[in-house]
Amino acid sequence: MLKRFSYLNSKLRIKSIDESGIEKQTNIFHFSKGLSEKIDFELREKMLNNDLIFRLNFDKETEYSYSLTLAFVRGFWMDPKLKVYSNYKESSLGGSLLDGILQGMKLFFKQQSRKKNLNMSITNAKLKNHLILFASVTGELNYLGATRAKLGTSKVQLEIKEFVYLELQSYFSDKEDELKDIFDVLQNNY
């Protein structure tokens, strides 16, 4: 749990001291790059660096505080990993943050495919099959259901959709080959 908090807040430094045993054990949890370090670990652990097509990291501040890191990976053998956190707790059912991220990606890739006269169906399922994604949002949030496992803040969905779209637009402005690779993956569903 301490490790998760330090990934989600890169400014946080946690020192844990355990004196319950014979030897004193000290652990320091500090990840200065935040969620970006988490995705580095996932890519190394799953040996996916060679299959990485693109990676996106950003932090944004509005009324809400956003942190997102994602990797789009070529491999079809990969188990996708999508983790979404709201106010430092995992939103296991996703909700508005995850929905907005996927909508921003679909909007960008659909517009780009139309420019290239490609007739493509870009679905959430296709995108999710190739994603390793960690995202968090903090602020005054609303949830759906009694378990608070699904985020239901529509403004979060709208803002993150726009942020993702604009970040992808900026990232791919000079990376035509990577964009072609993504279309190839999505069309052939590797």
Same domain, 107 and 23: no
DSSP 12: -
Global model pTM greater than 0.85: no
For residues 136 and 86, the answer to whether their CB atoms sit within 8 Å is yes
pLDDT per residue as tens digits for the range 48-66: 666 888 889 999 999 999 9
Chunked mean pLDDT (size 10), the chain, 190 residues: 55 66 70 70 72 88 94 76 88 93 97 92 91 92 87 95 97 93 84
How much is the pLDDT for 42?
A: 77
Q: Measured on CA atoms in the order 107, 112, 117, 122, is the torsion positive or negative?
A: negative
Same domain, 60 and 108: yes
Distance CA 80, CA 127 (A): 10
Strands 89-90 and 52-61: unpaired
Query: For residue 120, what are the domain limits?
Result: 33-187
Same domain, 179 and 107: yes
User: 96-115 vs 154-171: helix axis angle to the nearest 10?
Assistant: 40
Same domain, 95 and 22: no
Same domain, 55 and 94: yes
Same domain, 50 and 134: yes
Same domain, 43 and 131: yes
CATH number, domain of 131, equals 3.30.230.10
Same domain, 68 and 24: no
Same domain, 27 and 77: no
List the beta bridge partners of residue 136. 67, 85
pLDDT per residue as tens digits for the range 20-31: 878 877 665 555
Same domain, 110 and 150: yes
How much is the pLDDT for 167?
A: 97
For residues 103 and 128, the answer to whether their CB atoms sit within 8 Å is no
How much is the pLDDT for 145?
A: 82
How much is the pLDDT for 99?
A: 97
Same domain, 66 and 118: yes
Number of domains observed in the structure of the chain: 2
How much is the pLDDT for 170?
A: 96
User: Helix, strand or coil for residue 142?
Assistant: coil
How much is the pLDDT for 45?
A: 75
Q: Where are the alpha helices (DSSP H) in the chain?
A: 2-8, 35-45, 96-115, 124-128, 154-171, 176-188
